[in-house]
Amino acid sequence: MRQDVNYISGKVKNRIEQIIPVRAWVPLTIEVLLNFAVYWGAMEITAGRHHYIMEMPLDGKIPLICQSTAIYFGCYLFWIANYILIVRQSKEEMYRFLSADFLAKIVCLVFFLVLPTTNVRPEITGDGFWEQTMRFLYGVDEASNLFPSIHCLTSWFCYIGIRKKKCVPAAYRAFSCMTAIAVCISTLTTKQHVLVDVPAGILLAEVCYRCAKPCGFAAVYEQTAERITGWLFKLNKKEY
């Protein structure tokens, strides 16, 4: 019985390794946990504080398009696919990308704590599918932690991580760019964000990706992640 269990667990482990390299398991887990900690943690800490509204007159001219919730929710599949694609690249590229993502989320946390933001959501009328979907979105996601937009940040990171990689088909690189832009637009047409949140998220992604390696943070991140990986999975450095 134990042999059967070990055989099955070994097969599952090998299958997962074919999709996501072992070296990426720890940093990807850290990224997911950090994302939740930053978003929900900041929301809890600033719950009783004054939240700033950064809406501009031009924001009022952007229409509410309930159908854009399909893009807003669908982007999670885009994130999963591209993050897996990126961590399957070389170890150096993987750690540069993930360290930049980590650094960007820490910067987001600082902004969320120092400059908590909110917006005024429109009243949703109608009982159609898309109107119900919009109400669901508003119900599960509070109007907080808006600047910079994590949706825009993460989506743009998904494009940054593959945009110059010849190993990725040009068609998919173009698709990733268009999808990232579509997600940014959806944050506005769902009225989840205001205009200033979008370039802030994109700019933060670009700056962190360019700075993580030169400033030495990527190296520290890599060393830390590899120590944890080696300790958890009893691996030596050559194995990952």
Would residue 89 count as lying in a domain?
yes
Would residue 15 count as lying in a domain?
no
- How many whole angstroms from its chain centre is CA 211? 18
Placement of tokens 């009783």 in the chain: 48
Asked whether the bond before 148 is cis by omega within 30 degrees of 0, the reply is yes
- pLDDT tens string, the chain, 240 residues long: the values are 555 444 444 555 566 777 888 889 999 999 999 999 999 999 999 998 999 999 999 999 999 999 999 999 999 999 999 999 999 999 999 999 999 999 999 999 999 999 999 999 999 988 999 999 999 999 999 899 999 999 999 999 999 999 989 889 999 999 999 999 999 999 999 999 999 999 999 999 999 999 999 999 999 999 999 998 888 876 555 555
In total, how many domains does the chain have?
A: 1
Burial of 93 (0-12, 13-18, 19+ CB in 10 A): middle
pTM: 0.90
Would residue 19 count as lying in a domain?
no
CA neighbours within 13 Å on the CB side: how many for 118? Answer: 16
Would residue 206 count as lying in a domain?
yes
Would residue 10 count as lying in a domain?
no
Cβ-proximal residues to 83 (8 Å cutoff; 6+ apart), any chain:
28, 31, 158, 161
Q: Tokens for 148? A: 């910079």
Would residue 4 count as lying in a domain?
no
Q: Do 7 and 14 touch, CB atoms closer than 8 A?
A: no
Would residue 18 count as lying in a domain?
no
Q: Do 64 and 190 touch, CB atoms closer than 8 A?
A: yes
**What domain range includes position 53?**
25-239
Q: Do 121 and 139 touch, CB atoms closer than 8 A?
A: no
Q: How far apart are CA 28 and CA 114, in angstroms?
A: 27
Q: Tokens for 194? A: 């205001």
Would residue 201 count as lying in a domain?
yes
